[in-house]
Amino acid sequence: MKRNEFIKALGIIGIGTQFGTISCNSKQAKKLANNGLPDYRIWYRPKRENTNEEIRADFTDITAMGFKAVLPQIYSSSAGLFNLPNHEVKSLLLKRMIPIANQVGLELHAWMWTMPCNNSRIIKEHPDWYAVNRNRQSAHSQPAYVNYYEFLCPRKPKVRSFVAKRVRALATCHHTRLRRYTSGLCPSTRCHPRRRLTA
């Protein structure tokens, strides 16, 4: 076989293999993506001053639009909407949302930021916990892209412990279970009609 023929044959085999891999991976990815999760989910940033009636109206609208689950953000980068020891708690909104989600037949997966930390107490007491860029500038004084991207450094054991305590606090309240999404950990209350949860 001549060199040119060999390269051409190798290219054809490579392209054929690539298409086979892509189709196999897309089928596997689709199967993994729907691994026990509802088909349609929506991210939801609740207003802590909302009344139960306003939350119910939001959840009813979300259900009517065909969504099976809602992912409310219950921890910003500094304060929580559930009982979170050693953090500012703006409201116990998660506790109010769970029974309402149950009543309208909507799954609820509580969502939180994990690595961004704009907590002034942490910045003051632990400035060494923050990620450092290639210019050796800390993320709390020189955040990347936008001013609230003050990321902790996950390589530091104390940071991992700090984040784990926060996730554990959520996982132990309101019957939550951890579910991993591509963007990180998502403590999940898995509210749906077959399993009623009480707050």
**36, amino acid identity:** G
Cα separations in angstroms, 51 against 57, 86, 191: 10, 26, 20
What are the E-state strand segments in the chain?
41-44, 69-75, 79-80, 88-89, 107-108, 111-112, 177-181, 184-188
Q: Is there a single domain that holds both residue 56 and residue 111?
A: yes
The C-alpha atoms of residue 98 and residue 174 are separated, in whole angstroms, by 8
Residue 136 domain-assigned (yes or no): no
Residue 105 domain-assigned (yes or no): yes
Residue 123 domain-assigned (yes or no): no
Burial 59-79 (b: 16+ CB within 10 A, else e): beebbeeebbbbbbebbbbbe
Q: What is the pLDDT of residue 183?
A: 42
**Domain coverage including residue 73:** 38-115+154-188
Residue 142 domain-assigned (yes or no): no
Q: Is there a single domain that holds both residue 62 and residue 104?
A: yes
Q: What is the pLDDT of residue 113?
A: 84
Q: What is the pLDDT of residue 101?
A: 93
- Residue-wise pLDDT for 96-122, tens only, equals 999 999 999 999 988 888 889 988 899
Q: Is there a single domain that holds both residue 3 and residue 80?
A: no
The lowest-confidence range among 3-7, 10-14, 105-109, 169-173 is: 10-14
Stated pTM of the model: 0.64
Tokens of 119: 């907590």
What's the number of domains the chain is made of?
2
Q: Is there a single domain that holds both residue 8 and residue 57?
A: no
- Residue-wise pLDDT for 18-63, tens only, equals 444 333 444 544 544 555 555 788 988 888 889 999 999 999 999 9
Residue 163 domain-assigned (yes or no): yes
Q: Is there a single domain that holds both residue 78 and residue 30?
A: no
Q: Is there a single domain that holds both residue 66 and residue 22?
A: no
Tokens of 79: 């304060």
Q: Is there a single domain that holds both residue 19 and residue 103?
A: no
CATH of the domain at 52: 3.30.750
Q: What is the pLDDT of residue 38?
A: 53
Q: Is there a single domain that holds both residue 86 and residue 161?
A: yes
Q: What is the mean pLDDT of residues 81-92?
A: 82
Q: Is there a single domain that holds both residue 76 and residue 163?
A: yes
- What confidence category does residue 199 fall into, taking pLDDT thresholds of 50, 70 and 90? very low
Q: What is the pLDDT of residue 22?
A: 38
Residue 193 domain-assigned (yes or no): no
Q: Is there a single domain that holds both residue 43 and residue 89?
A: yes
Q: Is there a single domain that holds both residue 68 and residue 165?
A: yes
